[in-house]
Structures are given as structure tokens and as C-alpha cells.
């Protein structure tokens, strides 16, 4: 429902995509997927490989937060997300709502118990949030660099 309310960069809809563009999008997607996998693996190893309730909650929130924020990054392939067309208020509200729901699942005793989560201390939430924001900025730099590289090739 929120996707229809969103706007995109004018250059994205100015001319139809060609096979050449589709190939570059596929290559960029594979590159971003590989970058994401490596970043997630490093974060997973940092958090710990033992399945404790705190580890499970940390990984759950990190993966949810980053994937919700990726929506903002991938809206434009050539521009950094802060330079491209601004997301609609409805899209931003939906992302914020799902971030809140994700956090609530960890802190509401019933859902935390069912899912095997332990509430994260504020310090851990702050670190997790900083790492998630860092990931989005790094992902955006990789995205723009890959798009420029594949357009030249």
C-alpha cells in the first residue's frame, strides 16, 4: 500500500530500461547481496555464535532494522539515498512502524518468551543502531560505485 505513494527519480522513468540496463542491475544486485552477506557474517561473528536469548534478539533486530532501511537505499540506483528523490511520508511511516513492531517483539514479555528473546540493554540498542546506520551508508556507497562501474563497462 505504501509503494504506490512513493516517488522515484525522474531519470528512472524517463526512458524504458534496456537489456543492457537490466544486466547492470542484476550485476549490482549480486554485488550488493555479496556485500550484505559478508557484512552480516562479520556482525554475526561479532555478536557471538552461541544461541543465547540476547544474541537471538540482537540478530533479529539487526536484520530487521537493516532490511527495512535498505528500502530507502535501493530506491535509486545512481544517487546516494540522501541526494535522490525523498521517500514518501507514507513509506517512511511504514518503515518506522515496522521498526517499532520489531523492537516491541523483543520487549513485550509474551512475544519475547515465545520467540526466545531477552531484552537488549540500551547500550546494545545504541550500538546496534549505529552499526545498522553504518551498514546502510556503506551499502549506498557500494551501490553507487557499482552502478557507475557497470555503466562505464
DSSP string, 66-102: HHHHHHHHTT-SSS-TTTSPPPPHHHHHHHHHHHHHH
127 is a domain residue: yes
Mean pLDDT (whole number) for 19-44 = 85
Residue 11 placed within a domain: no
- Domain assignment present for residue 4? The answer is no
Q: Is residue 139 part of a domain?
A: yes
Secondary structure (3-state) at 116: coil
47 touches 73 (CB < 8 A): no
Question: Domain containing 47: what range?
Answer: 16-152
Task: Report the C-alpha gap between 149 and 23 in whole angstroms.
Answer: 13
Residue 145 cell numbers, joined: 560505485
The number of distinct structural domains making up the chain is: 1
- Over residues 85-95, the mean pLDDT reads 88
Higher pLDDT, residue 17 or 126: 126
Q: In this predicted structure, what is the pLDDT of residue 3?
A: 63
Residue 9 forms part of a structural domain: no
Residue 120 placed within a domain:
yes
Query: pLDDT band at 24, cuts 50/70/90?
Result: confident
Q: Categorize the per-residue pLDDT at 22 as very low, low, confident or very high, splitting at 50, 70 and 90.
A: confident
- Domain annotation covers residue 2: no
Whole-angstrom distance, CA of residue 45 vs CA of residue 14: 44
**Alpha-carbon gap, residue 130 to 134, rounded angstroms:** 6
- Per-residue confidence (pLDDT) for residue 79, from 0 to 100: 79
What pLDDT was estimated at residue 18? 63
Q: Terminus-to-terminus CA distance in the chain, angstroms?
A: 37
Is there a domain that residue 112 lies in?
yes
Amino acid at each position: 500500500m505504501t509503494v504506490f505513494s512513493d516517488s522515484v527519480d525522474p531519470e528512472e522513468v524517463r526512458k524504458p530500461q534496456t537489456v543492457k540496463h537490466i544486466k547492470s542491475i542484476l550485476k549490482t544486485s549480486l554485488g550488493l547481496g555479496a556485500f550484505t552477506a559478508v557484512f552480516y557474517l562479520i556482525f554475526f561473528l561479532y555478536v557471538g555464535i552461541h544461541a543465547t536469548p540476547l544474541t537471538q534478539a540482537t540478530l533479529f533486530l539487526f536484520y530487521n532494522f537493516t532490511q527495512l532501511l535498505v528500502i530507502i537505499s535501493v530506491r535509486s540506483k545512481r544517487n546516494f539515498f540522501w541526494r535522490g528523490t525523498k521517500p514518501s511520508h507514507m513509506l517512511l511511516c511504514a518503515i518506522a512502524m515496522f521498526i517499532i513492531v520489531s523492537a516491541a517483539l523483543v520487549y513485550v514479555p509474551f512475544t519475547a518468551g515465545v520467540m526466545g528473546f531477552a531484552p537488549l540493554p540500551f547500550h546494545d540498542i545504541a550500538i546496534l543502531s549505529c552499526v545498522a546506520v553504518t551498514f546502510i551508508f556503506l551499502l549506498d556507497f557500494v551501490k553507487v560505485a557499482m552502478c557507475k562501474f557497470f555503466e562505464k563497462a
